[in-house]
Amino acid sequence: MKKTINRQLIILICLVTAGLVVGIGANFILNQQFDREIVDEKRGELEKHLESIMAGIDSIPDSEISREKVEAILYPIVENDRDIIAGYANSENKLEIAVDWNKETESPQSRELGEIFKDDLPKDGYNARNLGILRDKDKIRAMKPIIEEDRIIGVVWIEDSIISDANVFAIVRILTAITVLFSLLAGIFGVVYITRKLMRDVARINDGVEKMKGDLSHRIEVSSDELGQIAGEINRMAEKLEEQKALEERLHQADKLAALGQFVSGIAHELRNPLGIMKGSLQLMEKRGTLSEEDSEFIEIIKEQIERQNSVIEDLLRFAKPAKTNFELLDVEDVIDSMIKFAGTYLRDSNIEFTRRKSAVPMTVHGDFEKLKQIFLNLILNAAQAMPDGGKLLLETEVLGDGGLAIRFTDSGRGISEDEISDIFNPYFTTKEKGTGLGLSISYQLVKLHGGDIKAENSPDGGAVFTVLIPLAKHRRP
């Protein structure tokens, strides 16, 4: 789990870092590229203008150079490109001219050179330091020297504004900044989302493990990521633990039944002989005909109790050593029909509303007709005794997807307490005043003889649900 979280966090950090590097790198590259494009473009334009101005100046003899003639060369250039400022300065003829565009008059105008150059062109002379392409934040200036006898006596210069280009450049910067910011926000939201998802998944697994401590049948929801694989492994461990627990319970039950069966068998035989002698003696006394009416009543009571004890002994012997089975192919619905004919009157007399739901699929099993009937009858009687004031009893059959058959008995009684539900199939465990505690134990044994299982649980609507699970004939266990 820790490995998964670390891996995902590393991926997120890499993504955020990559976004920042891409954003900063793109911003830097765009800045450099855009700056180069502006300078190259303006350099070419300014150099063309300078060549044009120099050609015009060279065409005028030195003795005839005047402000009017120089302005006549500079005005058309400024008029064609109104962002340009053009100028001419010559220390020999003391002529300094600067021309720019007047927005109020919508025409070129001459200005003092000092207003334009300020300290860029000192009036005491010119040198190479002042010449070439000069770039400022919002303007670019190009100069060409006027050389006489290897001495710079002046310059022709032109300056172009790049404010509009800078605005475009600012937009590019803003878009780049937005890209970087978006990358940061995406990374932050990604970290928050994945962290919250991981925490939810971890909490879900922890909750599932806590529930499994009390109920091994609980399963954790499995997702497709690595945490889902962990949840799947936990579910498989729970399944194995559940199977192991069920096996241990069956082995424990079998050990108890085997030990108890041997003990009960011996006791039952020891009790049966004295009871037979007592019953025979009473029958002889009755044949003599010398008993008073009161004595005859006492003898009937004794005989009734002897019969009752014989019935209990028969149950004990059946529990200790079930009778020989007679397995055959049979329809479970036929067994239920036979059982209902026998128990129907009892249910009506007990004020129990009986409902039966049949499966639409044939339910053929390998089983013993009489023993299956005894199982179902025991569960019917058990449900009826749980509703002494009457109630509802539902018997339904269902063919399961795993090739098994489920027969459910759902009553509307008080249900089974959590303390009793784990012991309900144990021999001699009963909550009834006159019960022997053998009915459900015998049913448990008989179901196991059929390769099945029996479960008890409480219904969500109240009452208890007993479910008999038996394999269908084609899925019969060896």
CATH number of domain containing 335: 3.30.565.10
In 105-166, DSSP assigns E strands to: 107-111, 132-135, 139-148, 151-161
Taking the C-alpha atoms of residue 354 and residue 5, their distance in angstroms, rounded to an integer, is: 58
Q: Which residue has the higher pLDDT, 393 or 256?
A: 393
Which residue, of 302, 321, 340, is where some domain finishes?
A: 321
> Is the pLDDT at 257 greater than 80, yes or no?
no
pTM over 0.85: no
Kindly indicate the confidence band of residue 471, based on its pLDDT and cuts at 50, 70 and 90.
Answer: very high
In 290-428, DSSP assigns E strands to: 328-331, 352-357, 364-367, 391-399, 404-411
* DSSP-based three-state secondary structure for 276: helix
- Predicted confidence at residue 351, as pLDDT, reads 92
- Predicted confidence at residue 411, as pLDDT, reads 93
- Predicted confidence at residue 78, as pLDDT, reads 86
CATH number of domain containing 158: 3.30.450
Mark whether 342 and 442 lie in a shared domain: yes
> Is the pLDDT at 65 greater than 70, yes or no?
yes
- Predicted confidence at residue 315, as pLDDT, reads 63
Q: How far apart are the first and last CA of the chain?
A: 44
* CB distance 124 to 28 below 8 Å: no
> Is the pLDDT at 464 greater than 50, yes or no?
yes
186 is a domain residue? no
Mark whether 287 and 348 lie in a shared domain: no
Mark whether 286 and 375 lie in a shared domain: no
Query: Per residue in 321-331, pLDDT tens?
Result: 555 678 899 99
Mark whether 115 and 147 lie in a shared domain: yes
> Is the pLDDT at 308 greater than 80, yes or no?
no
Number of domains composing the chain: 3
Mark whether 228 and 316 lie in a shared domain: yes
CA atoms within 13 A on the CB side of 248: 6
Kindly indicate the confidence band of residue 130, based on its pLDDT and cuts at 50, 70 and 90.
Answer: very low
Mark whether 299 and 338 lie in a shared domain: no
Which residue, of 108, 137, 167, is where some domain finishes?
A: 167
Mean pLDDT of 205-234: 74
Burial of 265 (0-12, 13-18, 19+ CB in 10 A): middle
- Predicted confidence at residue 27, as pLDDT, reads 65
Kindly indicate the confidence band of residue 123, based on its pLDDT and cuts at 50, 70 and 90.
Answer: very low
- Predicted confidence at residue 23, as pLDDT, reads 64
- Mean pLDDT comparison of 102-111, 169-178, 406-415, highest-scoring range: 406-415
Mark whether 143 and 44 lie in a shared domain: yes
Taking the C-alpha atoms of residue 322 and residue 64, their distance in angstroms, rounded to an integer, is: 143
Kindly indicate the confidence band of residue 261, based on its pLDDT and cuts at 50, 70 and 90.
Answer: low
Taking the C-alpha atoms of residue 290 and residue 353, their distance in angstroms, rounded to an integer, is: 51
Query: Per residue in 415-428, pLDDT tens?
Result: 888 877 777 777 66
CA distances from 21 to 24, 172, 177, 339, 415 (A): 5, 17, 12, 82, 69
> Is the pLDDT at 470 greater than 80, yes or no?
yes
242 is a domain residue? yes
The number of helices, as runs of H, and strands, as runs of E, in the chain is 10, 13
Q: Which residue has the higher pLDDT, 85 or 420?
A: 85
Mark whether 151 and 233 lie in a shared domain: no
> What does R_g of the chain's alpha carbons equal in angstroms?
54
182 is a domain residue? no
> Is the pLDDT at 199 greater than 50, yes or no?
yes
> Is the pLDDT at 407 greater than 90, yes or no?
yes
Mark whether 370 and 307 lie in a shared domain: no
Residue span of the structural domain in which 242 resides = 215-321
Report the relative pairing of strands 364-367 and 132-135 from DSSP bridges: unpaired
Mark whether 20 and 152 lie in a shared domain: yes
187 is a domain residue? no
Mean pLDDT of 263-286: 68
Mean pLDDT of 48-67: 83
> Is the pLDDT at 409 greater than 90, yes or no?
yes
Mean pLDDT computed over every residue of the chain: 76
Query: Per residue in 26-40, pLDDT tens?
Result: 666 766 676 677 667
- Predicted confidence at residue 353, as pLDDT, reads 92
Taking the C-alpha atoms of residue 226 and residue 224, their distance in angstroms, rounded to an integer, is: 7
Across 212-221, 241-250, 264-273, 350-359, least confident range: 264-273
Mark whether 315 and 379 lie in a shared domain: no
Strand partners, 212: none
Taking the C-alpha atoms of residue 462 and residue 415, their distance in angstroms, rounded to an integer, is: 6
178 is a domain residue? no
Which residue, of 167, 189, 206, is where some domain finishes?
A: 167
> Is the pLDDT at 129 greater than 50, yes or no?
no
Dihedral (C-alpha) 428, 337, 356, 390: value to the nearest 10 degrees? -50
> Is the pLDDT at 383 greater than 60, yes or no?
yes
Mean pLDDT of 326-351: 88
* CB distance 68 to 110 below 8 Å: no
> Is the pLDDT at 118 greater than 60, yes or no?
no
- Predicted confidence at residue 256, as pLDDT, reads 61
CATH number of domain containing 245: 1.10.287
- Predicted confidence at residue 226, as pLDDT, reads 66
Mark whether 269 and 346 lie in a shared domain: no
* Angle made by CA atoms 30, 35, 38, in degrees to the nearest 5: 125
> Is the pLDDT at 468 greater than 90, yes or no?
yes
Hey, what are 137's tokens?
């934040």
